[in-house]
Chains A and B, each alone.
Chain A
Amino acid sequence: MMNWTTPPYLLDGQASVRRVMLQVLVGLLPGIGAYVWLVGPSILLQLALATISALAGEALMLRLRGKPLSLFLGDGSAIVTAWLIALTFPPLAPWWLVVVGTLFAIVVAKHLYGGLGQNPFNPAMVAFAACIVSFPALMSQWPALGLKLTFAEQVSIIAGLAPRIDVMSGATPLDAIKTALKLGEGTVDVPTLLATQDVFGNFAGRGWEWVTTGYLLGGLWLWQRRIITWYAPLGFICGLSLLAGALWLWNPQGFASPLFHLFSGGAMLGAFFIVTDPVSGCTTSRGKLIFGFLAGLLAYTIRVFGGYPDGVAFAVLLMNLCVPLIDMYTQPPIFGMKNQR
């Protein structure tokens, strides 16, 4: 074992990468719980699939790169990526889609850039973006919430044994209004739409907002545990709701409320688990705020005006590109230099 003859000789016995990652996983649990309640245990299958393929990909890459397996496999970072992928992919996506996405994230987005700590882009978001570009149809097939499928049925859909088309009538709330607005060509307005569809329940019924609330709770817990800081999430939420709020006030018929935007799609997951990714995000406090804010603006723009159902992935990837620049310009003044700028 290593024996540093370097101070400090005392170390915080608690601190380790593994511990950080484990807490992030714990933070995801409330959201996952709500997810299971909403669409059934199929998501657990997807999580397991993603986890296994992530670990396999990680092990393969570590071996190829000659790194110690036990040390890095145990750090938990691959599992975090895997879970984020499973949670952003449609819950009934075919098994190979999740596997391919996860492997892509681990092999290309993580290890080809140098592995843990070196990847400039968030691996989960890279996987999401790559898959939605390559398999747009599969990536936008969400199960209708009214659909009551048994676990066996879900498994057979995921395994590709059952026909997909008839069960995939559903959509996420975001998708729902976008498609409806497109079809209706202005004859429908958002409030009536939201009132008639069954995916967003305005916290009154069974809808996706409960899942996002789960993410919010998990994120707040992480913040309280000091695993994440509040800068990036607040920035993201502000960015998203600012634009959403402005457009909603201007035309409440044509745009959904900020509340709707915050609690649908990947907004909360993005705010607390994706823009807070330390590796691919900004490191300075002001940088984190800016990073989150711009990611929020972009996410809204892409999700409302772009061609994809949700914009968080692309927004985060675009912002990842700007990280070095933002960091460079937001270096905080150091001890004793505060009045000298």
Chain B
Amino acid sequence: MITALAIMALGAVVLGAALGYASIRFKVEGDPLVEKIEAILPQTQCGQCGYPGCKPYAAAISAGEADINLCPPGGMDGVRKLADLLGREVKALEAEEKPKQVAIIDEATCIGCTLCIQACPVDAIVGAAKQMHTIIEPLCTGCELCIKPCPVECIHMLPITENLDNWKWKYPVIEIKRAA
């Protein structure tokens, strides 16, 4: 009995020491968690999560202040990846998921006020004061931040449609049940 206990105790001590050593030896510097979270976030920088950008939201998640289901552009896919990374439950998205969009300026109406330029977090709008503005489509993340500031409401969101360049092969449908 005593020997058994002693052996178990000894085992625990040895393993504990090994684990402790490993955690010192293989310590990871910095806070890669924030970076890992940020890598999952879509970088739309829209602020819909309630944070002024993706990085602050990532920081808030890793600090445990924010839930993982607040980023609508990331969609359920993003929530799933975050849950995977952090070992948390998958939760339904707070807001509803929208198809990907890009903004487009109605160029005939634009008065060149530059307000949208200031709002765009990723510098996807070009133009100068009193000149017509336009959006560089490939750079636009679809964050909608430029819609509100426009005094003449000439910015609209267009969903990105499927074309030959972004077309994807679909997941094979499994219809085993139907075959019966």
Is A6 in contact with B172, judged by CB distance below 8 angstroms? yes
Question: Hey, what's the 0/1 contact readout for B65-104 against A, CB within 8 Å counting as 1?
Answer: 0000000000000000000000000000000000000000
Interface size grouping (class) on chain B: under 10
Contact string against A for B residues 144-180, beta-carbon threshold 8 Å, 1 for contact and 0 otherwise: 0000000000000000000000000000100111111
Within 8 A of B (CB), among A37-73: 66-71
A15 beta carbon closer than 8 Å to chain B: no
B179 close to A2 (CB less than 8 A):
yes
Chain A neighbourhood of B176, CB < 8 A: 67-68, 71
CA distance in complex: A6, B178 (Å):
18
Q: Is A204 interfacial (CB 8 A cutoff)?
A: no
CB distance from A300 to the nearest CB of B (A): 32
Q: How many residues of A contact B (CB 8 A)?
A: 10
Number of A-B residue pairs with CB-CB distance less than 8 Å in the complex they form: 19
Q: Is A11 located at the chain interface by the 8 A CB criterion?
A: no
| A6 proximity list for chain B (CB < 8 A) | 172
Q: Which residues of A contact B179 (CB under 8 A)?
A: 1-2, 68, 71
Q: A67: which B residues are within 8 A, CB to CB?
A: 176-177, 180
User: Which residues on the A side are within 8 Å of B172 (C-beta)?
Assistant: 4, 6
How many whole Å from B39's CB to the nearest CB in chain A? 27
Q: Closest CB-CB distance, A6 to chain B, in whole Å?
A: 7
A66:B177 contact, CB within 8 angstroms = yes
Q: Are A70 and B180 in contact (CB under 8 A)?
A: yes
Verify B180–A71 contact, CB threshold 8 A. Answer: yes
Residues of A within 8 A of B177 (CB): 66-68
Residues of B within 8 A of A71 (CB): 176, 179-180
**A2 CA / B175 CA spacing, docked (Å):** 7
Residues of B within 8 A of A1 (CB): 179
> What is the minimal beta-carbon distance from B52 to any residue of chain A, in angstroms?
45
19 A-B pairs in the complex with CB atoms less than 8 angstroms apart: A1-B179, A2-B175, A2-B178, A2-B179, A4-B172, A6-B172, A66-B177, A67-B176, A67-B177, A67-B180, A68-B176, A68-B177, A68-B179, A68-B180, A69-B180, A70-B180, A71-B176, A71-B179, A71-B180
Interface residues of B (CB under 8 A from A): 172, 175-180
> Interface on A for B, CB 8 Å cutoff?
1-2, 4, 6, 66-71
A67-B176, A68-B180, A69-B180 given. 11 additional CB < 8 A pairs? A1-B179, A2-B175, A2-B178, A67-B177, A67-B180, A68-B176, A68-B179, A70-B180, A71-B176, A71-B179, A71-B180
